Structure 1
Amino acid sequence: MVDVHHRFATVGGRQVFYRESGAPDAPVVVLLHGFPTSSFMFRNLIPELADRYRVIAPDFLGFGYSDAPSVEEFDYTFDALAESVAGLLAQLGVTRYAIYVQDYGAPVGWRLALRDPQALTAIITQNGNGYDAGFVTDGWVPVWNYQREQTPETETALRQFLTLEATRAQYLTGVPDESVISPDTWHHDYALLSRPGNDRIQLKLFLDYATNPKIYPALHDYLRASGVPVLAVWGDKDPFFGPDGARAFAEDAADAEIHLRDGGHFLLESDLAAVTELIRDFLSRRM
């Protein structure tokens, strides 16, 4: 058994919450969460890794227990989220680390890699997209429509992603046995999404998501030049990021290890044991 610590740090004048476990001098693994969740998604994975690694899982600003300043007070972009995470890691004295990225965690992680190409020791991507091939069109149409034109109609369509039903669907779609998914997951996320003003934060990030595919070519160059080890472990029925997104990493990452699992967007909730085994084996050989 290992202790998981729940901590806050002041980064750029904002309070950033993070979960941390493992020996301070162990190799570091940074876990970067997706939408609409937080480091809460890693609550079960952290203890599975912390016997060998120092594991750090921050909440992005606007998510979880980190500060959520209004959109008038803070410019919510993926650049800004990455800057906040980089500031936290610098404060913690972390200069070399592996990343586990999922959903929104992917564009944050890619920015960290591109700003400091020598920092990353390994990449684990679990439904964390880095290729145009990964987008499942049906799931992204409301986002793309809103990015093209911000109207009452496109905003109303996009706000459906902020409902309890949509949050529940993110957890259950594609899962072979829905009974293994705790309702605590979507109710926890929805409670935080429902805080006053958080809807505008999420709309701002949906808008800024348009910047993420633009950095994919730089990411691909980085993967080829750096030779950083990559493990792509993917829920193959994710309604937003399809299995072609996992396979695509093999185009640029040397000896990329690709594993498609029977599951959905939040694979850790339904397939934790198998994913943990893949991660531990991968890191032991290639980090």
Structure 2
Amino acid sequence: MNRRTFIHLGLGAVGASLLGGCAVGLTGASAGGGGAAGAGAKGAWDAAAFHAARRFVPTSFGEIAYVERGSGPVALLLHGFPLNGFQWRGVMAELAPHRRCIAPDWLGLGYTRVAEGQSVAPDAQVGMLIAFLDKLGIDQVDVIANDSGGQAAQLLVAAHPERVRSLLLTNCDTEIDSPPPAVLPVIEAARRGRFALDTFPPQLADHEFARSDKGIGVLCFTYPQHPSDEAIETYFRPLVESPQRVRLTDAYAIGLDPNPLAGVAATLKQRDLPVRILWGTGDTIFTPAAPEYLDKLFPNSRGVRKIEGAKLFFPEEFPQEIAAEALKLWSGA
């Protein structure tokens, strides 16, 4: 499979010939309606409202940044790498009438303040989630996850099945593809202490560059206006705001290898929670075999739906599709 090399974000070494053109055959949002302002969902927060809504929960892992919206049973929204909870602003707007939507930031990403000496590896992320939910007095959640958030979601279900009512997975790691080959150069650069510094400052300095075939845009987003200016600032600025944050960003990448999901399949095959897979076929990071693998892995899978041409971070661009699938899953349909 022809894979992209994520480390070249910010370095300008990946040309259009490697990254290809924009996806076609999409349903849902249009190229003009994908929603740079609010991720295409009516009433979605802009960056100012998102920052104003942020709260922190003190735990032994650090002060966990999160936003929440809505009321009712809790939906826990787990973002990808190198994003933060802002990825879910459109989904939160769609689901707020039905769920208390909570979007935390991972250790090492976003606005979470990591405790001194704290690991940011995947097992620590799962421990953080449990501590975070305990502090908020939340017993069970419906999980919606993307990218490395899907990896953590699987680890959460394996270790703490009593805490998860249902699971909606979008493009993410699987045991057979973690870390995917495209991410290996990221990990190697992080081990040299160069991933964060070589990747994010150039994109913060030039937003059009970030949206180009040499930045995160063409690689991970479906539509050419994404990520928006405010998304670039909200996602990338905290990752390089201090030497400590640079180290944590690199540490997050380093923690993705060796495979955090190694050996988890036997346990997940015993988990009978309802699971739905929603997969963008334009993604070139994760193997196209992954959705069928997940469908067979979970004994109570409700099947796979594919969005033709949608790329890795499509939950930001297709919030209505995420919400529709979540509501079907929660209703038992």
Measured against the shorter chain, the TM-score band is: 0.7 to 0.9
Letter in 1 for 2:304: I
Between the aligned partners of 1:217 and 1:276, the Cα distance in structure 2 is: 31
**1:36-88, CA deviations, whole angstroms, 9 ceiling, x for partnerless residues?**
11111111111211211121111123322221456xx3232222222122111
Contact 1:171-1:266 within 8 A present in 2 as well: no
Seen in structure 2, the aligned counterparts of structure 1 residues 144 and 11 have a Cα distance that, compared at 3 Å, is closer
How far has the Cα of 1:202 moved from its partner? 1.9
Question: Please, which of 207, 210, 218 is the counterpart of residue 254 of structure 2?
Answer: 207
Match of 1:31 in 2: 77
How far has the Cα of 1:6 moved from its partner? 3.2
1:245 and 2:293 are equivalent in the alignment: no
Match of 1:232 in 2: 277
How far has the Cα of 1:99 moved from its partner? 0.9
Between the aligned partners of 2:223 and 2:261, the Cα distance in structure 1 is: 36
Contact 1:171-1:186 within 8 A present in 2 as well: no
Contact 2:158-2:271 within 8 A present in 1 as well: no
Match of 1:179 in 2: 225
Between the aligned partners of 2:177 and 2:120, the Cα distance in structure 1 is: 26
Contact 1:167-1:190 within 8 A present in 2 as well: no
1:11 and 2:59 are equivalent in the alignment: yes
**1:188-243, CA deviations, whole angstroms, 9 ceiling, x for partnerless residues?**
212112211222112222222114x343432x223321222211112222232233
Contact 2:91-2:320 within 8 A present in 1 as well: no
How far has the Cα of 1:136 moved from its partner? 4.8
Match of 2:93 in 1: 47
**Gaps in structure 1 of 5+ consecutive residues:** none
Question: Please, which of 90, 108, 131 is the counterpart of residue 87 of structure 1?
Answer: 131
Match of 2:159 in 1: 115
Question: Please, which of 190, 203, 209 is the counterpart of residue 236 of structure 2?
Answer: 190
Contact 2:217-2:227 within 8 A present in 1 as well: yes
Aligned length: 274
Letter in 1 for 2:250: L
Calculate the TM-score normalised by the size of structure 2. Answer: 0.72
Seen in structure 2, the aligned counterparts of structure 1 residues 34 and 188 have a Cα distance that, compared at 3 Å, is same
Q: Any residues of structure 2 matched to 1:148-167 within 5 Å, and which?
A: 150=191, 152=192, 155-156=193-194, 160-165=198-203
- Report the secondary structure of 1:45's partner residue: helix
Between the aligned partners of 1:46 and 1:178, the Cα distance in structure 2 is: 23
**1:75-113, CA deviations, whole angstroms, 9 ceiling, x for partnerless residues?**
322222221221110111211211111122123222322
Between the aligned partners of 1:181 and 1:146, the Cα distance in structure 2 is: 23
Structure number with greater CO (CA < 8 Å, separation at least 6) is 2
**Gaps in structure 2 of 5+ consecutive residues:** 1-42, 204-208
Calculate the TM-score normalised by the size of structure 1. Answer: 0.83
Contact 2:277-2:305 within 8 A present in 1 as well: yes
Match of 2:102 in 1: 56
Letter in 1 for 2:130: A
Contact 2:217-2:226 within 8 A present in 1 as well: no
Letter in 2 for 1:106: G
Seen in structure 2, the aligned counterparts of structure 1 residues 156 and 21 have a Cα distance that, compared at 3 Å, is closer
How far has the Cα of 1:163 moved from its partner? 4.7
Between the aligned partners of 1:221 and 1:179, the Cα distance in structure 2 is: 42
Letter in 2 for 1:140: V
Greater alpha carbon shift after TM alignment, 105-114 vs 159-168? 159-168
Seen in structure 2, the aligned counterparts of structure 1 residues 97 and 194 have a Cα distance that, compared at 3 Å, is same
Between the aligned partners of 1:282 and 1:188, the Cα distance in structure 2 is: 30
Seen in structure 2, the aligned counterparts of structure 1 residues 284 and 167 have a Cα distance that, compared at 3 Å, is farther
Between the aligned partners of 2:119 and 2:100, the Cα distance in structure 1 is: 31
User: Structure 1 vs Structure 2: percent identity of aligned residues?
Assistant: 20
Greater alpha carbon shift after TM alignment, 159-168 vs 88-97? 159-168
Q: Any residues of structure 2 matched to 1:264-275 within 5 Å, and which?
A: 264-275=311-322
